[in-house]
Structure 1
Amino acid sequence: MRVVFSFRAALAPLVGALLAFVPLSAGANEGAATFSDAARIVSIGGSITEIVYALGEGSRLVARDSTSNYPEEALKLPDVGYMRQLSPEGVLSVNPSGILAIHGSGPQAAVDVLKKSSVPYIEVPEHFTHQGILEKIRLVGKALGVDAKAEKLAAETDAKLTAAEKQTASIKERKRVLFVLSTQGGKILAAGGDTAADGIIKLAGAVNAVEGSSGYKTMSDEAIVTARPDVILTMKGGGPQISADELFANPAIASTPAGADRKFISMWGGYLLGFGPRTADAIHDLAVSLYGAQVTD
């Protein structure tokens, strides 16, 4: 079931990459860290929805955004649209008692309308790090009034993340990874620093081949060659799929170590870049894909 509403001109969709980095700022409704009524919550952001279900509080949700496609049970909820193209009318149409959103939801005009509505709006910061995941878990638990459950889940997740990161501790030669978000118009849009892709690459014991810039950037042929990636990483789902043949047909990529060896990894976007309860597993899977038998248990 999908809730669809047209945008007014003032609420035009935010233009940008699917997972573009958004600078962090203070949360909405500062001081309102706990919903007074958490019985009917709209969850915006795939990792937020995953955490709600991991806490055993999925029954509180009355709607979710289109990036919230895990667990499967979440797909039964009404879909209020893509997290960066929200309609206030759509979100409020399900009569929520609270809105729980990841920072970076938008467009800003729509978020401003939601913040000014009578429905409490709690914003959860996004940090693409081990500690950032634990913070999200604790803040979601606080918002729902289940702090004890959140501490238990945070402790379990912390242990799994620590174990996953240790699997590549002994590797000496770190792979240089180029995460390609899109190839629209023949241009390579790749992940720099301060992005989910940068975070997961580092947690898996590798090096982001794009150095010295933040966010997702269009790369020139010269920049791609200079980056010298050993591996090309892409994501499945969330838009047009990028094939290995398409990438390695690019002359600049073909001239890199990744192109010479045709090293290509593709993983589901929400799993790879979600930074939620499943991230330890994503770290392990990416590390195995990068290093094979060198990954220790």
Structure 2
Amino acid sequence: MMKPVILLAALLLLAPQVSAQTFPQTTGRIVSVGGAVTEIVAKLGLGDRLVAVDSTSLHPPEMRALPQVGYMRALSAEGVAALHPDLVLLSDNAGPPAAIEQMRGLGIPLKLIPDRPTPDGVADKIRAVGAALGRQGEAETMSRETTDRLAAVSRVVEKAAGRPRVLFLMGLGGGAPVAAGRNTAADAMIRLAGGINAIDGYDGYKPASGEAILDAAPDVLLLPTEAVDAAGGRDAVLALPQFAGTPAASSGRLVVMDTLYLLGFGPRLPDAVADLARSLHPELAQDLANDAAPRPGGLL
């Protein structure tokens, strides 16, 4: 079997020497890395040009049938090169950096797409994908529609009487659950939906002890679908000892959402915020249905 170093050298010799800024915009084979990036490509009507995606690209469902290049933060330059892409769209959270530099060295046309978990960040993401694919007009329309719908949801959320404390846990695992602190996509979603992040003592995602969870006093637990399924379902999660004594466990308030839908910050953001807001503020459900007109999806 050819060794990776030899394979990489061979691919370098065979690859077309194309600048990362001179990729074809309207034709060719596209590899998309980043769930929201892939959603935007599909919504622009170019899903049929995708020859592979990463493991976070799960929507729309037909994307799951495409070949995968692995997890977005653990890419292989050789694996991507073997697909002979005309363009690779990469969330700027993708990596590792060495793999991205290898792709550039192989002459693979790359476009890094900005990925910030903010409303403006979603608009920028949509426009960046549209520009890379020569679909600026369609992307601008999508961006405006997304921004307008999110503004409508926000106007309803502003009517909420209170702000529940919400604890997002990325996973339960065999040890301490991993909780979302400040400056995370989960933190941003909780705030957009009219909640308060119950964890405010650190940035990023970190394991949280039972004592820390109790001190956080969450009114609502927010978990990804796969974490709840792995734990045995809603009742099993609420019965876990680390949640004993929290207001959320006492009242049975557990919200379960698809990870990409909740944290992807793509074109479905207004729907995700509306769905989470309905769970945090049941009294707003009718207003959200009438004024914000969210399209359900991802909330279980």
Deviation, 1:35, is 3.0
Q: CA RMSD in A?
A: 2.3
Do structure 1's residue 77 and structure 2's residue 57 form an aligned pair? no
* 8 Å CA contact 1:7, 1:87 repeated in 2: no
Give 1:288's aligned residue: 278
Query: What SS does the aligned partner of 2:200 have?
Result: coil
Counterpart mapping for 1:112-127 below 5 A: 112-127=101-116
What is the alpha-carbon distance in structure 2 between the residues aligned to residue 76 and residue 267 of structure 1?
22
Indicate the structure with greater helix content. 2
Q: What TM-score comes out, normalization by structure 2 length?
A: 0.83
Do structure 1's residue 90 and structure 2's residue 79 form an aligned pair? yes
Q: What TM-score comes out, normalization by structure 1 length?
A: 0.84
Deviation, 1:85, is 2.2
> Which amino acid counterpart does residue 73 of structure 1 have in structure 2?
E
Give 1:273's aligned residue: 263
* 8 Å CA contact 1:43, 1:99 repeated in 2: yes
> Which amino acid counterpart does residue 80 of structure 1 have in structure 2?
V
* 8 Å CA contact 1:62, 1:78 repeated in 2: yes
Give 1:12's aligned residue: none
What is the alpha-carbon distance in structure 2 between the residues aligned to residue 77 and residue 175 of structure 1?
40
Q: Which moved more, 1:92-101 or 1:287-296?
A: 287-296
Query: What SS does the aligned partner of 2:146 have?
Result: helix
- 1:187-223: CA deviations, max 9, x gaps? 1210111211111111111111110311101112222
Give 2:248's aligned residue: 258
Do structure 1's residue 101 and structure 2's residue 90 form an aligned pair? yes
Tell me: CA distance 1:238–1:134, structure 2 relative to 1, closer, same or farther (3 Å). farther
Give 2:24's aligned residue: 36
Give 2:9's aligned residue: none
* 8 Å CA contact 2:22, 2:109 repeated in 1: no
Gaps of 5+ in 1: 1-5, 9-30
What is the alpha-carbon distance in structure 1 between the residues aligned to residue 21 and residue 133 of structure 2?
9
Tell me: CA distance 1:238–1:82, structure 2 relative to 1, closer, same or farther (3 Å). farther
* 8 Å CA contact 1:238, 1:269 repeated in 2: no
Provide the identity percentage.
Answer: 44
* 8 Å CA contact 1:34, 1:144 repeated in 2: no
What is the alpha-carbon distance in structure 1 between the residues aligned to residue 214 and residue 259 of structure 2?
25
> Which amino acid counterpart does residue 142 of structure 1 have in structure 2?
A
Q: Which moved more, 1:73-82 or 1:277-286?
A: 73-82
Do structure 1's residue 163 and structure 2's residue 163 form an aligned pair? no
